[in-house]
Amino acid sequence: MGLQGKRIAVIEDDRSLNNGIVLALKHEGYQFAQYGTLEEARAGRVESACDLLVLDINLPDGDGFAYLQEIRRTSDIPVIILTANDLETDEVMGLELGADDYITKPFSLMVLRARIEKALNRDRAGKSGIYQAGGFSFDFGRMLFYREGQEIVLSKTEQKLLRHLVENSGITLPRGKLVDLVWTDGAEYVDENALSVAVKRLRDKLEPCPPKPRYLKTVYGIGYVWQEEEKP
């Protein structure tokens, strides 16, 4: 089964918007669970009953950020934040807490549909451990990495860094979050300069020739993103 039949939970207290999202996307073959409060979502156990969560931040009975943090203690379900909060600090907070994407209102339903599809595909690719795009072929399970058919030798740190980046393709991962994800060996403190060095070494191996990065890009002041080239 592809993406059809995937179950999406929409936690949004604006009933018109909630229904609009469902009506606009139902023909894609998705199934939906609709909630207007966090209490309803908790009762529905969305993290185990659904494949993706669309989460409003400002809800009548609580803070969506706190709920996201709560979910991330036990589940890696893809979460797309949908909110009127358009501050950069809020977006960074949402990503650091574990959101897969962040969309501000007003928004295009076409954009939401594309982001949902991308998040579900990314989740499926992440579970398979295989990534293929742009001339790259990465098999994280077998630790085999190729660029244009040529094998690339990566250190364990570079493999972990690359996996987190490609599994979140198109999503800017803050530096602090990447440090926490990559250096999980119990070290009390890791200088963020270690991340800069790891990114440079990985980039040199993946993209040794272009004058500027085409895939592993720096988002100044925030972090890094694996950005797949858009099809012409």
Rounded to whole angstroms, how far apart are CA atoms 53 and 231?
28
Average pLDDT over residues 194-210: 89
- pLDDT tens readout for residues 7-19: 999 999 999 999 9
What residues contact 148, with CB distance under 8 A and at least 6 apart?
135
Average pLDDT over residues 127-150: 82
pLDDT the model gives residue 1: 43
- Selected residue with higher pLDDT from 161 and 73: 161
User: Position of tokens 């909110």?
Assistant: 83
First to last CA, the chain: 29
φ and ψ at residue 186, rounded to 5 degrees = 95, 0
Rounded to whole angstroms, how far apart are CA atoms 59 and 55?
9
Rounded to whole angstroms, how far apart are CA atoms 160 and 145?
12
Amino acid identity of residue 10, one-letter, is V
Average pLDDT over residues 157-162: 91
Q: Is 88 exposed, middle or buried (0-12, 13-18, 19+ CB in 10 A)?
A: exposed
